Structure 1
Amino acid sequence: MSDFLARKINHYKKALLIKPNNAEVYSQLAEYYYNRGQFQESATACETALKIQPNLVSASKTLGLVLQEQGQVDAAFELYNSLGDRLVKEGNLEEAIPAYRCAIDLKPDAYKVYYKLGEIWENREQWEDAIYLYLNCLYWYENLKDAKPLFREAYQKVLLDKNPLYPLQKLIFVYRKIIKEKPDFSLAYVGLGDLLTQQGKIEEAIFCYKTASYNKLLSSHPGLAKIDCHPQNQSDPNFLIVGIGKGGTSSLYYYLTQNPRILPALRKEIRFFDENFEKGLGWYLSHFPPIPKTSTFLTGEATPWYFVTGDVEKKIASIFPKIKLILVLRNPLFRSFSHFQMDFKNGIEKRSFTEAITSEIEAIRNLADPSQSDFNYWQSEKGYLLFSLYVYFLEKWMAVFPREQFLILQSEDFYANPAATLTQVFEFLGVPDYALPEYPNYNPGAYNPIDDNLRQRLADFFRPHNQKLEEYLGMTFNWD
């Protein structure tokens, strides 16, 4: 074998005397040097080949092997990763796949590479492989303990309502496979729980959610989880952020759950009281961490559409009559516009904002009670203005809960000084104050400003309703 390699090396050296700028020959020479264990000579031949032809895949692959043999794992990883990126850009997906896989072999926690591979399989409509890779991406990203939602895209791709339509059982297989490989992966249990819920297998789903809740607690508070908790325990929520949609609830919930005394639910919005009530209280409680009854930790969720959904307040009061309720109210003019922009961006709304509010103003005039919209209203309207008529919904909530169980915040104050607002919330919840190093805006919307004439029209429409709200609460909002 050694004589054969030596003859091949001499053959390619002679060929280079004839064609000294032949990158393919240098690449072949590098491969034979590598097979003979002459790693430095192989690296030199690869580098020469790549100087002549930078996109030569064979030379890049051999150089990667050489770097591994030399213990330069980081350099080899970067080479394979860059090679994959370049090949994708050139449309050469067949070659990109093994390049990315080589990168993952070197660094199994390279979450960005999993994501890029997932995109290739998604483009090929090989959904099972794509979701498996996205889940791997999320597993390693989650383990970084990084609070910044840099990979929200991967999370969206594994949500049920974002997945392509193909057999549910295949999706379940993918989640079971990832759980077998990574039994501590909370998000995979949540995904499997969602799939089983969709199948109507509520008890199995509850088991998955409880396991996910326990795993999260084990990760964040290992001492507490190991000593005082059991995966099948249940905890009641201590607080709910009940509204209002497009008012800053995502940011508020994230800030609250950074306090060491407040443990998050499996998801910010569980939507139990407005969409999932028939699944039962056990299903709901399985989404919360199994906090020991003797501890001082709190938990809760934030479903901002609870506030405007009929009879939700009665359901909550019947189960959790002492729960603390947090409401963030935003200038109704801007909340309505943001709500419209969200629907327009998602393809739910086809009308212009002017057309939408003109229609809705007339529809609201036909309602005897704005908090009790009828079938005819929802045939044409989306609730942009209706959901901003806060006082009528608040009257319903305060008919079943006492005023002292509410903390009512103003969105504008919250964003102007989040630390001061959080101090209020922590005092309301009875936990020590906690300052964050920064207060990023979660789930922000970006859109053009409202036309001045349209803005004035909306201000005139909301003014009497805002005045009624201020009188009812004894608070001043200064929204004009």
Structure 2
Amino acid sequence: METLPDQTPKIVEAIKYYLKQIKQEPNAEAYCNLGSLFALLKKWKVAIAFYRKAIQIEPNNAITYRNMTRALMMMGQQTEAVQCWYEAFLNEPTIQPEQYLTLGLNLAKQGQYQQAIDCYKKMLEVTPQNSPIEKQIFHNYQTVLDANPQTTHQDYLNLGKLMRKSSYFQKAIICFQKAIEKNPYSRSAYTAIQYTRIAPEQLDSLIQFYQKMLQSHENNPVLWGNLGDALTQKGELKEAMICYRKSNKKNLRSSHPELSQQDNKLKKECPPDFVIIGAAKCGTTSLYKYIGLHPQVLLPHKKEIDFFNKNYSFGIDWYLSHFPGISDYKDFYTGEASPNYLESFETPLRISQCFPQIKLIVLLRNPVERTISWYFHMINRGAKKRDLESIINSAIEQISNCSEFQLHSPNTNQFPRHIGGSLYVFHLQHWLSFFDQSQLLILKSEDLYSKPQEIMDEVFNFLGLANYENSRYPICNVGSYKPIAQEVIKSLEDFFQPYNQQLENYLNRKFDWDAKI
């Protein structure tokens, strides 16, 4: 700002006042005020010196950094000014994203790529989703990653997940592809694409991308599997089945090289031995991986096939093509885990008609925890944003108004899945109207995590496999979210208590979920 001549005496008097103050007792505010006063006199070098003194005493004051940024820019010290601007950004209590949008690009121009990324991450935390400024932040964020020679596949993977969370699915897919280009064997990037909505107009380019990657990574099983998924979505089922079978064969070559040398079957004809049918967000990923550690178990190319609920029209040959053909041989087992099956009204009938003797495994978690976990799981997948409390309240009201007949006729479309998926007793009653109880192994999620070896012994015994001990049982696919208001938890606890009691009475088994979480 310009200083009028008649203001100068007042500024000098103010300077004397603050100099006297810091002589008596140095403090950050006085030093910052002195810096601002000398800035008014355009004594930039002196102003900067006082700002530095203020920062030494109070290193987290955004105002001081912001003021010093201007002084440094007036001195022509661009590099230090951008760094100071960044410090102001990190310490700003109420951030206005529009004021800092170009900061990331300025940091990137100076080679401060990680700081630029941190800048955009923080802006995304305070920016309303689906706003024009958010789109611009994502664009600049990706520009910084593209410009940085040190960008890793994890950087693109993280950005893709952030974009997916904001429902920018096509841009997320592009980031996941860039992650794969950086690391063609990053299973997490392929998995991210599997769980991201792919627009029909993006299919051709994605298929071409996979085909190009296969030219130099022909032995990558996950790449073959993802190509099969894209071809399936396009309706090219025969070509997709070829890809799934190749995926299984490549996977077998890396996981069981001794088996790949045998004259193994390429086409599977027998049913899988087991299906983990749910429940979603109850530890099915962990259980699936633990089962796959057994030397006699040969798993399909991916965990969730969702054939009996979403993809039934593709036919049984398409389904069986997901499993390794050699699993038809004696002493080998295979199966899948599609946790959405438990809630699907049509699935138990379809499975019983196709594979009446199959063994089914269910994991059940404290319904309060499962409901909350499912909510955040869907938010991270780009679902429509509604606050947890309003969703819970409306779902409880809807279910409370259902008749007894409706509650005993579970249908995926009938109840909101956050709570409906946790009404275990009704889902299990439905399944046990199609299968004998001896075919259904019901496990408690909390037991799987607290005593994994004991539970896995039970699982292997149920499947007819010899016990197999493993030294480690890492928990997979763990979600994270901020603490939940106690009012919401209490509302859920009260709602689920009678249904938990019904479940215990029906199965003649205690779950002890009514203890407070």
- TM over 0.5, shorter chain: yes
Structure 2: distance between partners of 1:117 and 1:354: 33
Length, aligned pairs only: 374
Give how far 1:444 is off. Answer: 1.1
Query: 1:406 maps to what in 2?
Result: 440
Structure 1: distance between partners of 2:337 and 2:110: 39
Query: 1:337 maps to what in 2?
Result: 372
Structure 1: distance between partners of 2:227 and 2:401: 45
Structure 1: distance between partners of 2:346 and 2:368: 26
Query: 2:425 maps to what in 1?
Result: 391
TM-score, scaled relative to structure 2:
0.64
The answer on whether the counterparts of 2:190 and 2:223 sit within 8 Å (CA) in structure 1 is no
1:172 matched to 2:217? The reply is no
Give how far 1:257 is off. Answer: 0.7
The answer on whether the counterparts of 2:410 and 2:427 sit within 8 Å (CA) in structure 1 is no
Deviation digits for residues 31-75 of structure 1 (CA, Å, limit 9, x no counterpart): xxxxxxxxxxxxxxxxxxxxxxxxxxxxxxxxxxxxxxxxxxxxx
Q: Secondary structure at the match of 1:409?
A: strand
Q: 1:348 to 1:292 in 2, by over 3 A?
A: closer
Q: 1:307 to 1:163 in 2, by over 3 A?
A: closer
Q: Secondary structure at the match of 1:426?
A: helix
Amino acid at match of 2:353: S
Deviation digits for residues 365-385 of structure 1 (CA, Å, limit 9, x no counterpart): 23232253679x75xx63222
Structure 2: distance between partners of 1:317 and 1:339: 28
The runs of 5 or more residues in structure 1 that have no matched partner are 1-83, 104-111, 142-150
Query: 2:180 maps to what in 1?
Result: 135
1:472 matched to 2:506? The reply is yes
Structure 2: distance between partners of 1:232 and 1:286: 7
Structure 2: distance between partners of 1:316 and 1:164: 30
Alignment of 1:6-17 (within 5 A): none
1:416 matched to 2:453? The reply is no
Alignment of 1:249-288 (within 5 A): 249-288=284-323
Query: 1:438 maps to what in 2?
Result: 472
Amino acid at match of 1:372: S
Structure 2: distance between partners of 1:445 and 1:133: 24
The answer on whether the counterparts of 1:134 and 1:157 sit within 8 Å (CA) in structure 2 is no
1:372 matched to 2:372? The reply is no
Amino acid at match of 2:340: W
Amino acid at match of 2:409: Q
Give how far 1:256 is off. Answer: 1.2
Give how far 1:340 is off. Answer: 2.0
Query: 1:224 maps to what in 2?
Result: 259
The answer on whether the counterparts of 1:135 and 1:188 sit within 8 Å (CA) in structure 2 is no
Q: 1:89 to 1:361 in 2, by over 3 A?
A: closer
Q: Secondary structure at the match of 1:227?
A: coil
Amino acid at match of 1:439: Y
Structure 2: distance between partners of 1:267 and 1:417: 26
Query: 2:493 maps to what in 1?
Result: 459
TM-score, scaled relative to structure 1:
0.69
Give how far 1:95 is off. Answer: 12
Q: 1:127 to 1:474 in 2, by over 3 A?
A: closer
**Kindly, what percent of the aligned residue pairs are identical?**
34
Q: Secondary structure at the match of 2:245?
A: helix
Give the root-mean-square deviation of aligned CA atoms. 3.6
Q: Secondary structure at the match of 1:228?
A: coil
1:290 matched to 2:329? The reply is no
The answer on whether the counterparts of 1:85 and 1:96 sit within 8 Å (CA) in structure 2 is no
Q: Secondary structure at the match of 2:335?
A: strand
The runs of 5 or more residues in structure 2 that have no matched partner are 1-108, 117-139, 164-169
Query: 1:5 maps to what in 2?
Result: none
Q: Secondary structure at the match of 2:341?
A: helix
